Amino acid sequence: MNKKIFSAIVLSTMLVSNAIVPFETSASTNLMETTNESWKKSVSNSLQNYLDTKITNGFSELQGYEIGKILKLKDKTAKETKYYVSVVDSNKETLGYAVLDGNDNYEVIEFGLGKEEPLKDANHNISYYGPLSYAENIGNGKVKDLLLNQEFDKATLINEINEVEQPTGEYQVSPATIINYAYKYISGVPDYQQSSITTKINTCVPVSAANIIMYWDANGYPNMVSTNNWINVADRIAQIMLHTNANGVLPQYITPGMRLYFDEHGYPGFGVTRDTTPTFSEAQTIVNAGHPSLLGLSNYTVINPNATGKHMVTLVGFETYYDTSTQKWSQQVIVHDNWDSTGTQVWLKWASLPVTDIWEISN
């Protein structure tokens, strides 16, 4: 698929309010490299060991990787605490990308595997506000959503900001220190994009649901769709879940909407179970059962500061291991996020995720 390069910000979201924007913004942001290169070494070391661990555990497509551009990103406090790194092959073609957290020993908090990356052409004024959330500060008190090219007043987007300090020093881990490695990925789940639906906006729920429905149609439930056209499936989901362009889909309509769809197609035995306090262990159990499911994220403030916006993605996998050198667990879920710019598999650090719900879809 020839995908456009743009950020994975989710103004197109599952909402719990009327008007949303997909991120919390900061003061003016500069994506500028400094003359002090020590932070680059720390970032490179951490990412190299992260990638080497993946290669050791079977990700051969990353062999021969090189570290591409490294860019500083500011967080919502206007401090340079995040780092964006391109991962390329010897021909400088994209293999993936990563975001590392300078506040947590340069740990990888987001990693996309594939030929797409959200900031491939970016070179300045970009901030990172959470998983799949990038924004450009354009001056005059405005911030621009890189996905929809819409401008917002950034002062209305900041509600509470906790000051953080960027750590110093280097972080270095050897793959030899990794034990209890576990990885599971449900192969064959589609990764459809919201941009393919031209008649609606805010379609993250219908698209994520279509990923799951089309998967089961190809895996033992051939009556799950009638035309083999996923956009028709998404349109039907949008209809029965009372989707609107202004509001997207409200959470309370997801469970009955999915059940109605399964009933309509002769599969009343499919289960739809909503968990409003999910844990990483529960996410593992769902993936190990082979159930691609809906995962809700909420790290985006809204124009109305009293409301919150959400984004829906498809849970398709996990990776976890214990690092004996730091005595810490790495716990990441793998999602299909329905944005063009992030590749098929996106790893997100569980501890930093604002997960609100998981709707397990079981056959």
pLDDT in tens, 120-168: 888 777 888 788 878 887 888 777 766 555 666 666 544 433 332 333 3
**Of 208-222, 295-309, 314-328, where does mean pLDDT reach its minimum?**
295-309
pLDDT digits (tens, 9 = 90+) for 194-251: 999 999 988 999 999 999 999 999 999 999 999 889 999 999 999 999 999 888 899 9
Chain Cα centroid distance, residue 337: 5
Chain Cα centroid distance, residue 291: 19
The predicted model gives 317-327 an average pLDDT of: 90
Q: Determine the pLDDT at residue 145.
A: 64
Q: Determine the pLDDT at residue 175.
A: 64
The residue to which tokens 């990693």 are assigned: 111
Both structure tokens of 346: 């996106």
Q: Determine the pLDDT at residue 156.
A: 54
Give residues with Cβ within 8 angstroms of 68, minimum separation 6.
85, 86, 87, 88, 92, 94
62 DSSP assignment = G
Q: Determine the pLDDT at residue 353.
A: 85
pLDDT digits (tens, 9 = 90+) for 43-100: 999 999 999 999 999 999 999 999 999 999 988 777 889 999 999 999 999 999 999 9
Residue 68: name the closest of 47, 52, 38, 82 by CA. 47
Residue 236: name the closest of 219, 252, 220, 260 by CA. 260
Mean pLDDT of the chain: 81
User: What pTM value is reported for the model?
Assistant: 0.82
Query: What Rg value do the Cα atoms of the chain yield, rounded?
Result: 20
Domain ranges of the chain: 14-175, 182-362
Cα→Cα distances 241→54, 171, 194, 262, 266, Å: 39, 47, 17, 13, 19
CATH fold for domain 182-362: Cathepsin B; Chain A (3.90.70)
